[in-house]
Amino acid sequence: MLTWESPVSAMRGVGAARQAALASLGIGCVRDLLYHIPRGYQCRGNVKTVAEAAEMARRGDSMPVSLMLTVSAEPNYRMIRRGMSILRFRAFDETGTCEITYFNQNFLRNVFHTGGEFRFFGRVSAEGRTIKMASPIWEVCAPGVDLPGIVPVYSLASGLSQKILSQLIRDALHSVGTHLPEVLPPEVVRRQSLCTLAYAMQNIHFPEDGDALIRARRRLIFEEYFSLGLAVASATQPDTAGVRMPEGDIAPFAGALPYDLTGAQKRSIAEIAADMAGGKRMNRILIGDVGSGKTAVAAAAAYIAARNGYQTALMAPTEILAVQHYRELSGLLGRLGIECVLLTGAVTGAQRRAVCESLARPGGAVVAVGTHALLNSSVQFDRLGLVIEDEQHRFGVRQRAALAEKNESAHVLVMSATPIPRTLSLVTYGGIRVSRLDEMPPGRQVVDTFVVDESYRARLNAFIRKQTDGGHQVYIVCPSVEENPDKKIKIPDDPEELADLIFGAERDMDEKPPLKAAVEFAQTIAATFPDLTVAFVHGKMKNAEKDRVMQAFSEGEISILVSTTVIEVGVNVPNATLMIIENADRFGLSQLHQLRGRVGRGKAKSYCVLVSDTKGGDARARLDVLKKNHDGNAIAEEDLKLRGPGDFLKTGGEIRQHGDIRLPVAAGPGDVEILAAAMEEARLILEADPDLSRPDHAALRATAQDVLRETANTMN
């Protein structure tokens, strides 16, 4: 009988070759196999009749659908030219006939016999009265077998096919599925309303429906974060001594603000103050949507440090953000007599010497705002007590360590609008607590959002003109070409693998209208508005150059900024009132929300226009979410629901590439709640049983140790 720990070679159908193939995916035992989570899903439950598919095709709806068809005559096979053959046949249901073609799939002649019943999945096109499908995915409809509506798509290795892998996983689930070890303590499962591991495993691979998939995914993400939280907390010294800052009264600071702090800001500041007063080193992340007012919280923390006689270093990922923070902090703190200085790569010579001298001198500058330049060993602090990092994911672990070395007991506060998954790299390095700004400052204007297609181009240009005539500035974002490199496909030898490859498992089911090449697009815009200053920033530019353009934009020297998504998170240009996003369907909703957050920062009414030419109804429905929703969390939730089984897990590979940590299921910004809940539960468990020595925590201890080992392996 198989167990969790059984080697895959103990499974039926796994010989030496397959074992090696599985090993190349990091799969050695049954547990690994079950944790080989699909990288995506295909929704094949959308079954249509030929008549319905014909109607969709005529409407221009290009959603892939499933058709249940019977083959009406033996396939016709033809060589079109050397190396290119075509297989063509007709298949029908009670409402009509569909013509199906495959290229270079000669061997399929032996599959599609007259009278055979199949489920075909793919895009349908209409031509006159007939409809066609090119290279659809096919499955045999056997009597008494229910074909699943949602089909997993796995990362493969050579020698494995989707069918083989999912069959192996099915077998493994079948033999160990009902007695999987439950690692989570029962009270945690109850408190968090999690499903069982058995249910999660069954439904992450072969979901009953979208809801089951979401439940399964939540459980697995929770489990991973929870183990991570335990690992981290049990590995790090919970009692690293920190600078004691008992004086936590922020009334004078709050009184000097031009607005009232929100409840969430007050709560976060109180949490920070309590950490800094406690004598242990603070390690806290402040998570808040764009515009939630993280800077004011940072300023309050710096204020507390200052009142206790300590300096603060605030590190921003780019020059422009550093300058922006410097302005804001010196505005907020300057009037309370707290001296702020700016230190970036652009600060040189005598000016730099003066800044450094001031920071190193007792009684000198109190708050240093800057970029990496702060890390330079020549920058010495007299009494550094607090380190704040904005948008932390840009910083490597080593840089963080370098800053911490300037004073090992300095408190650390990290701020982020998009904490997942990059936050994980940080989570692995300290027992971190989370504060959340889940409330927007009052009176925040709603950015009116429109979804339009190419036919609106002239009106859109007129609208740009109207904004610039009013003295305002415009952002235009388009996806860059480099973001979608053509994948080179290696043709496999194994016919089944080839079939999978060609029939779609590996095929991008969502071909989209051609991307606007960002460069050309910028040129077109410049030509359309010859009297305005149009600038272009893109990912391939040098940082200094990017910063220069962004700076010019923030100073109002540029009217229209065309960019790929490199527009810095957190850039604040209140005079910009229009955000246009081209090929908007290419972006995730949360990303669109972030981009939209660049406007609506001043008093003037602001707008966001999402341009998309995609015909499919669901792409449109997705974008419409942004029209109605203005809260980042709600949007992330909707995103998850809507992208649904289709592709919300697709980012899995990315995380692994970052080398941060092995995640069973790709996490997105919508998972912040899960992270926070899991960290909190981990903390509660450790409070009760600090070294996990209780017998009922043995599995937890083992898991935590696993995570640590794994993290240590992937970190370097």
The residues that touch ligand ADP, with contacts defined as CB under 6 A, are 259-262, 265, 288, 290-296, 417, 441, 570, 572
**Torsion sign, CA atoms 622, 623, 627, 632:** positive
Angle formed at CA 683 by CA 677 and CA 685, multiple of 5 degrees: 105
Partners of 313 in the β-ladder: 368, 387
Nearer to ligand ADP (CB atom), residue 122 or residue 288: 288
Nearer to ligand ADP (CB atom), residue 166 or residue 572: 572
Nearer to ligand ADP (CB atom), residue 103 or residue 259: 259
Could you tell me where the beta strands, DSSP code E, fall in 478-575?
A: 534-537, 560-563
Nearer to Mg ion (CB atom), residue 258 or residue 349: 258
Is residue 325 within 8 Å of 454, Cβ to Cβ? Answer: no
| Distance from C-alpha of 502 to C-alpha of 588, rounded to nearest angstrom | 27
Smallest gap, in angstroms, from Cβ of residue 603 to ligand ADP?
11
Angle formed at CA 256 by CA 440 and CA 294, multiple of 5 degrees: 30
| Distance from C-alpha of 411 to C-alpha of 284, rounded to nearest angstrom | 9
Smallest gap, in angstroms, from Cβ of residue 490 to ligand ADP?
44
Nearer to ligand ADP (CB atom), residue 107 or residue 259: 259
Interacting partner of 259 out of ligand ADP, Mg ion, none (Cβ under 5 to 8 A depending on kind): ligand ADP
CA torsion 383-385-391-395 (nearest 10°) is: 60
The residue of the chain with the least Cβ separation from ligand ADP equals: 293
Smallest gap, in angstroms, from Cβ of residue 417 to ligand ADP?
6
Partners of 451 in the β-ladder: 610
State the amino acid at position 363 in one-letter form.
G
Interacting partner of 441 out of Mg ion, ligand ADP, none (Cβ under 5 to 8 A depending on kind): ligand ADP
Smallest gap, in angstroms, from Cβ of residue 325 to ligand ADP?
9
| Distance from C-alpha of 425 to C-alpha of 507, rounded to nearest angstrom | 32
Nearer to ligand ADP (CB atom), residue 53 or residue 304: 304
Nearer to ligand ADP (CB atom), residue 7 or residue 574: 574
For the chain, the farthest-separated pair of C-alpha atoms sits apart, in whole angstroms, at 91
State the amino acid at position 74 in one-letter form.
E
Smallest gap, in angstroms, from Cβ of residue 591 to ligand ADP?
15
Smallest gap, in angstroms, from Cβ of residue 658 to ligand ADP?
23
Smallest gap, in angstroms, from Cβ of residue 260 to ligand ADP?
6
Shortest CA distance to 589 belongs to which of 633, 631, 616, 623? 623
For residue 38, give the 3-state DSSP assignment: coil
Nearer to ligand ADP (CB atom), residue 267 or residue 683: 267
Tokens 């498992």 locate to: 505
Partners of 140 in the β-ladder: 118
Please count the other Cβ atoms lying within 10 Å of the Cβ belonging to residue 230.
Answer: 26
Residue count, binding to Mg ion (CB under 5 A): 1
Smallest gap, in angstroms, from Cβ of residue 286 to Mg ion?
10
Smallest gap, in angstroms, from Cβ of residue 435 to Mg ion?
15
Shortest CA distance to 662 belongs to which of 135, 48, 36? 36
Distances (CA, A) of 80 to 84, 87, 103, 142, 274: 6, 10, 10, 33, 76
Smallest gap, in angstroms, from Cβ of residue 406 to ligand ADP?
24
Interacting partner of 203 out of ligand ADP, Mg ion, none (Cβ under 5 to 8 A depending on kind): none
Torsion angles phi and psi, residue 523, rounded to 5: -65, -40
Stretch that binds Mg ion, among 205-213, 550-558, 565-573, 613-621 (CB under 5 A): 565-573
Smallest gap, in angstroms, from Cβ of residue 680 to Mg ion?
25
Nearer to Mg ion (CB atom), residue 169 or residue 287: 287
DSSP letter for 185, please: -
The residue of the chain with the least Cβ separation from Mg ion equals: 570
Residues 569-598 that bind Mg ion (CB under 5 A): 570
Smallest gap, in angstroms, from Cβ of residue 332 to ligand ADP?
9
Nearer to ligand ADP (CB atom), residue 159 or residue 574: 574
Interacting partner of 565 out of ligand ADP, Mg ion, none (Cβ under 5 to 8 A depending on kind): none
**DSSP states of 91-112 as a string?**
EEETTEEEEEEEES-GGGGGT-
Query: Alpha helix (H) ranges present in 136-176?
Result: 162-176
Nearer to ligand ADP (CB atom), residue 43 or residue 417: 417
Is residue 21 within 8 Å of 159, Cβ to Cβ? Answer: yes
Interacting partner of 187 out of Mg ion, ligand ADP, none (Cβ under 5 to 8 A depending on kind): none
Partners of 385 in the β-ladder: none
As to burial, measured by CB atoms within 10 angstroms (0-12 exposed, 13-18 middle, 19+ buried), residue 368 is buried
Strand order in the sheet with 473-477: 448-452, 607-611, 576-581, 473-477, 560-563, 534-537
Stretch that binds Mg ion, among 121-129, 222-230, 277-285, 568-576 (CB under 5 A): 568-576
Is residue 217 within 8 Å of 204, Cβ to Cβ? Answer: yes
| Distance from C-alpha of 562 to C-alpha of 480, rounded to nearest angstrom | 11
Smallest gap, in angstroms, from Cβ of residue 572 to ligand ADP?
6
Nearer to ligand ADP (CB atom), residue 233 or residue 261: 261
Nearer to ligand ADP (CB atom), residue 33 or residue 569: 569
Smallest gap, in angstroms, from Cβ of residue 340 to Mg ion?
16
Smallest gap, in angstroms, from Cβ of residue 440 to ligand ADP?
9
Nearer to Mg ion (CB atom), residue 570 or residue 652: 570
Using rule CB under 5 A, residue 293 touches Mg ion: no
| Distance from C-alpha of 21 to C-alpha of 152, rounded to nearest angstrom | 19
Q: Which two tokens stand for residue 279?
A: 């004598």
Tell me how far apart the terminal alpha carbons of the chain are, to the nearest angstrom.
Answer: 38
Shortest CA distance to 104 belongs to which of 124, 125, 119, 82? 82
- 264, HSE (Cβ side, Cα atoms, 13 Å): 17
Interacting partner of 407 out of Mg ion, ligand ADP, none (Cβ under 5 to 8 A depending on kind): none
Nearer to Mg ion (CB atom), residue 501 or residue 573: 573
Interacting partner of 572 out of Mg ion, ligand ADP, none (Cβ under 5 to 8 A depending on kind): ligand ADP
For residue 607, give the 3-state DSSP assignment: strand
Q: Which residues of the chain form contacts with Mg ion (CB under 5 A)?
A: 570
